[in-house]
Amino acid sequence: MLYPAIDDEAVSLFDIPNQTGTPERRLLAAILERAILDFVGNDEKEMLEAEEWLFSELETAEQHAGEFTFPWLCRELDLDVQTIAKKIKSMPKRGSHRIAPWYFAKAS
């Protein structure tokens, strides 16, 4: 397999809209998804902005994270911020592809 498998937790977060909860929760998931796509993308400005949002406040205690920061968003989605950050950092960059190759992959 060329790309790391996406675990069931990450897949279920985005793949099953009727089971992800409220519209607000789906909005938060969409914000996280956009940040991930920007981070692995090939536009340097978007990548740097996403990288700053995703990783700049990891040292901040999660309970003191401001609204709409990455740690706050993870807490609201019941995700472990350190685990998710580690998985995002390990994702392959898109390179010259228009779509990240792993984006449509399903966990096996």
Average pLDDT score, the chain: 77
Report residue 91's pLDDT band, with 50, 70 and 90 as the boundaries. confident
Q: Which residues contact 76 (CB under 8 A, 6 or more apart)?
A: 25, 28
Closest by Cα among 17, 85, 21, 81 to 51: 85
- Predicted TM-score (pTM) of this structure: 0.68
- Length of the chain (residues): 108
**Structural tokens at position 65:** 């994270």
Scan for tokens 């991930």, then name that residue. 36
d(C-alpha 41, C-alpha 18), whole Å: 28
pLDDT of 97 reads: 64
Closest by Cα among 35, 11, 20, 39 to 77: 20
Query: What residue type is 66 in one-letter code?
Result: G
Domain boundaries, the chain: 8-90
Q: Which residues contact 65 (CB under 8 A, 6 or more apart)?
A: 57, 71, 72, 75
10-61 pLDDT, tens per residue?
A: 544 445 555 557 888 989 999 999 999 999 988 889 999 999 999 988 776 5
Closest by Cα among 11, 41, 32 to 85: 32
